[in-house]
Amino acid sequence: MTQKITPFLWFDNQLEQALALYESVFPDFQTTGVQRYGEGAPVPAGEIITATFTINGQEFSALNGGPMFKFNEAVSFQILCDTQEEIDHYWHKLTEGGEESMCGWLKDPFGLSWQVVPSILADLLAGPDPAGAQRATQAMLQMKKLDIAALQAAYNGD
């Protein structure tokens, strides 16, 4: 089945490097199409103009469109993680050459924003214990990379 809505990402001129990074980060990454400039284009022949790829079954399209537009935090991609090992993996790989932010947010080396989030976060922040949820929220607000054990301990009041 084809997705009806596909995120379309505008890179300056680093699309090929982005594809290589995402392939190294996501175990279920696949490039599904690449179109390259031919002779007589405004950039060197052979450079990527557009590409399509999937990450964990999610389709993306991307363009080497030049410096006119930049990524910002208004759009981000959330990675739900079941373990701290997963969080550590994605955080380390995507912040290398990128930028850490708060509450599980980061920018990769291309300026694209990601949220690396434990899958239990929603349960901790909106759990049946309002005091526990408040403690977990306060703990999260102090973190850059999210720590599942610390969030759980805060919820539990440990």
pLDDT digits (tens, 9 = 90+) for 55-103: 999 999 999 999 999 999 999 999 999 999 999 999 999 999 999 999 9
Distances (CA, A) of 23 to 29, 50, 56, 80, 112: 5, 16, 11, 18, 15
> Is the full-model pTM beyond 0.85?
yes
